[in-house]
Amino acid sequence: MSSVVFKEVNKVFPGVDGHPGSHAVKNLNLSIAPGTLVTLLGPSGCGKTTTLRMLAGFETPTDGQIVMEGHDITTTPVNRRGIGMVFQSYALFPHMSVRENVAFGLKVLKLPQDEMDRRIAEILDLMQLSPFADRAPAQLSGGQQQRVALARAVVIAPKVLLFDEPLSNLDAQLRERMRDELRMLQTRLGITSLYVTHDQSEAMAISDRVVVMRNGVIEQDGSPTDIYARPRTAFVAEFMGKANILKARLLRVEGKQAHARIAGGDIVLPLEDVSPAPGDEIDCVIRPEQITLSADGALTAEIQRVVFQGGYAEYLVNLDGQRCSIVDYRQHSHGVRAVGEMLRFSFADAKPWPLAPQNPAL
């Protein structure tokens, strides 16, 4: 049984003062298995935050049902849901110490004092916050504040834990560390979690399952590896990371495989969701890192732009009128190429993935 189920949930924000309303979430169906972390991923305005806030109880669905552990909680008030939440701004109570922040939810539960003290000490210890227990939030670093927010949310032993872009206020290095800490805590406590972010690398690193949303609709739903390797649409392909979307001409179909050619390079496409015929042109995704630079490659193209990224160099080439990005992780040994040089490469190692025809409605 799933911990959380959204059934046909819609959310319409009515227009105010002449502003048009918006249909933020459309016929959403989603279930979250117990103990797993599911991430809602998408650009701003895709409905991911609205979905999270409906589960929290800050928004009420216009239509549909939300079920948590078998109970319909669609209209249950926020404070009776037993959900924990970590906010983007942390939302620590600025007039309370770290300890008082953590104790707040326990006091509402009216736990006996010794039980309360024990749980506070435990979580502060776990989060390495014990030395700061009597400080005000303003006296803590960003990472420490983040940990207090997390401690405050999990100390009440919530049924579900919600994360609203919790790492977006941290700088890049700290963000990765907190991301790992967060995931470790979540797996250790086994709390069912819903996580919202617009950062695809964060989503892939932290999730059991990623749900990509766009314009209020789920675009794709699957494991991080699955979504990265087998995107259903160009939107998902590009949102999940750098993607070359190239037109391939189908040569012949053999069962679940198709042989095709892109600008003189031969590829083999798996046919699972699509069923094209020979002669068709089909969009397929080839990630930049799948293209092999080699002196005996079948393809050549002139470098039009070079972006040096430290760990690798990225070259942009024009492949029969199509933009194509190629990354070179070996630039430290043979040097970064210059604009105008010819690049030789092949699709020998590529795992191209065919895209379903674009839905014109989106």
Residues that bind other proteins (CB under 8 A): 10, 12, 14-15, 20-23, 26, 56-58, 60-65, 74-75, 77-85, 87-89, 91-95, 104-105, 108-109, 136, 152, 156
Give the pairing type, strands 313-319 and 299-308. Answer: antiparallel
Q: Which of 86, 59, 126, 295 lies closest to 206 in space, CA to CA?
A: 86
Q: Which of 341, 348, 337, 336 lies closest to 299 in space, CA to CA?
A: 348
Closest CB to other proteins among residues 80, 188: 80
Intra-chain end-to-end CA distance of the chain, in Å: 33
Q: Which of 81, 91, 88 lies closest to 59 in space, CA to CA?
A: 81
Closest CB to other proteins among residues 109, 339: 109
Give the pairing type, strands 299-308 and 342-346. Answer: antiparallel
Residue 28 CB, nearest approach to other proteins (Å): 12
3-state secondary structure 243-256: CEEEEEEEEEEECC
Residue 103 CB, nearest approach to other proteins (Å): 10
Closest CB to other proteins among residues 21, 357: 21
Residue 95 CB, nearest approach to other proteins (Å): 5
Residue 47 CB, nearest approach to other proteins (Å): 12
Phi, psi of 249 (to 5 degrees): -95, 125
Residue 89 CB, nearest approach to other proteins (Å): 5
* Three-state DSSP state, 357: coil
Residue 166 CB, nearest approach to other proteins (Å): 12
* Three-state DSSP state, 129: coil
Closest CB to other proteins among residues 62, 201: 62
Residue 228 CB, nearest approach to other proteins (Å): 30
Residue 15 CB, nearest approach to other proteins (Å): 8
Residues 6+ apart with CB under 8 A from 134: 97, 98, 99
Q: Detail the DSSP E strand segments found in the chain.
A: 4-13, 22-32, 37-41, 63-68, 71-72, 83-86, 160-164, 192-197, 209-214, 217-222, 244-254, 257-262, 265-270, 281-286, 292-293, 299-308, 313-319, 322-328, 342-346, 353-354
Closest CB to other proteins among residues 74, 144: 74
* Three-state DSSP state, 138: helix
CB atoms within 10 A of CB 301: 18
Residues 6+ apart with CB under 8 A from 281: 247, 248, 249, 250
Residue 153 CB, nearest approach to other proteins (Å): 8
Closest CB to other proteins among residues 215, 244: 215
Closest CB to other proteins among residues 92, 267: 92
Closest CB to other proteins among residues 29, 300: 29
Closest CB to other proteins among residues 58, 329: 58
